[in-house]
A and B are shown apart, each in its own frame.
Chain A
Amino acid sequence: MFNKKGFIGAIGDDLPALIPIIIAILIFLTVFTNTLVTYDQKNFELRKQIELSSISRTIKSDSLILDFEQFEDNCRLSRLKRSNYNYMVGIYENSKLDDGGTQDIINDFISASQSEFFEPFIFDDEGNYFFCSYRKVGGSRFSINTQNYLIRFYPVAMQRKVIDAETGTDIFLIDPVIMAMVVWN
C-alpha cells in the first residue's frame, strides 16, 4: 500500500476512460429500451391483424349468410373468444362503396358505436340489422378520436328474400354483399 504512492484505484487512475464507458452504457440502454418498445408495439399490431382474421373467419363462416339467425350465431360464437380487442362488423350493400367509400363506412361505425344508429347496414324482413359488435371489459367506444384502428372488407354471399308483388310468393336469391369489419384497441 505504502509503495504505491498516488494510486487512487483501477477506475480513479484512468478517469478519461470512464467517458466512453458511460457513453457506451447510455447508448446501449437507450437502444435496448427502444427495441423492447418497438418489439412490443409491432407484436401488438400483428396480433391485432391475426385476431381480425380469426374473428372475421368465424363471422363470415363459409362466406354464405343464409339468414339473420346464422349471422347472430356466428357473432355470438366470435364473442366467446373474449378478444383483447374491440370490434364491429356490419353487412353492407356493395353499392355503399361507390357513394362515400371507406370514410363513409367509418362514419357509420362511429354512429353505430355512439348512438346505436344502424340504418346504413342491411336488415332482414323482420327489421334485424346485420351488425355485430364486441367490446372488451373497459374497452372504449369507436369514435372519431380512436387511433390505431384497422378496417377490412370481405366479400360474402347473402340469401335475400324478395316478395313478388304480383303473386305474393317468396323468391330467395343469393346476392353478393360486403362485410366490413373494424378492430380497435
Chain B
Amino acid sequence: MDSVFFLTIVMGITGMLLMFSINYGMQTQSQLDSFYSSDFAADVLKIVTYINVARDGSELSLSNVDSSFEIDYLLTLIKEDYADVSNDRRITQRTKNALLNTFRSVLRPFQASMNYVFYIYDPQTSRYLFLFFSVHECVDSAGNPCSYNTTFVDGVGLVTNSRVGEVVNNFYFCEPANEPNSFLERELFPTLGRIDTAFGKVILPTTLDNPGRPFEMRLSIWVSRDSEKISEISDGSGLNCELIN
C-alpha cells in the first residue's frame, strides 16, 4: 500500500514537471515576438521621419531622380499641409500618395499577413489628425463585402460552404472631423487580439512661421483577421475614410 502512495506522489510530481516543460518559455516567446513587432513598428516610425519622397507624391525610384525632380522629406509634406490654414489643415492628395507609397514599401515583408494603422493625433484636444489604415478585406467582384454560400445539411443545419470573393489589401485614409480618440482603443483594438504599437512625437507647426507644438504619431500592427469593426472603416461611419489604393 505504501508503494502505491509513493507511486501516486511521484506521478503528481512528474505531472507537474511535464506541465513545466510544456509551458516553459511560452510567455517569453510571446514577449519576444511582441518585442520584434514593436521594434519593427518603431523602425517604421523612424523611417517615416527620415525618408525622402517626390514632392508630387509619385513613387520615387533611383532611376527617375535627376536635378529637375523635386524631392523632400515625407514629414515636410505633412507639416506643410497641416500649416496650410487656407486648406483647413487637410492632408493633400500628394501627401496621401506619398504616405501610401512609403508604407507599401516599408511594410512589404508583412504586407500579406498584417494589418496596421498609422495615425497622428493631437494630445491637447484628443482628436485624430488623420488615420491611415491598411486592412485585408474580403470583397466580391463589385467591391462589396463577401457573401457566403450556405447549404442545409440534415442533422447539422446550415453549413457555410464557401466564400464568394477574394481577400484584397485595401488602404484607407481617414480624417475624422469630430470623432474623439476612442474608436481605436475602445472599439477596434479589443476585437483584434494582440496589437503591437510604437509611439513617436512630432512637432507640427500651426502656421508656416510658427515653431508649432508636439503631436503623437503611432503605428499599431496586428495579424489580419475578420472583424465587423474593420468594415466600419470602409463604411465611413464617423471616421470619414476614403479608399486610396
Contact = CB atoms under 8 A, between A and B. Distances in A.
Interface string A114-132: 0000000000000000000
B102 A176 contact: yes
Given A17-B3, A53-B36, A63 B20 contact: no
A20 interface: yes
Interface residues of A, number: 51
A94 B47 contact: no
A149 interface: no
A98 B13 CA distance: 52
B40 A24 contact: no
A156 interface: yes
Provide the main secondary structure of the chain A interface.
helix
B62 A21 contact: no
Contact of A35 (B2, B17, B29): B17
Nearest to B66: A164
A35 B21 contact: yes
Interface residues of B, number: 41
A135 interface: no
Contacts of A60: 43
Nearest to A157: B50
B66 to A, nearest CB: 5
Given A64-B46, A173-B60, A176-B106, 14 more contacts: A19-B3, A35-B18, A46-B32, A53-B35, A63-B43, A97-B108, A153-B109, A156-B47, A160-B62, A166-B66, A166-B67, A173-B65, A173-B71, A174-B51
Interface of B: 2-4, 6-7, 10-11, 13-14, 17-18, 20-21, 24-25, 28-29, 32, 35-36, 39-40, 43-44, 46-47, 50-52, 60, 62, 65-67, 71, 102, 105-109
Interface of A: 14, 17-21, 23-25, 27-28, 31-32, 34-35, 38-39, 42-43, 45-46, 49-50, 53, 57, 60, 62-64, 94, 97-98, 152-157, 160, 162, 164-167, 169, 171, 173-176, 178
7 contacts: A21-B3, A32-B14, A34-B21, A53-B35, A167-B67, A171-B66, A174-B51
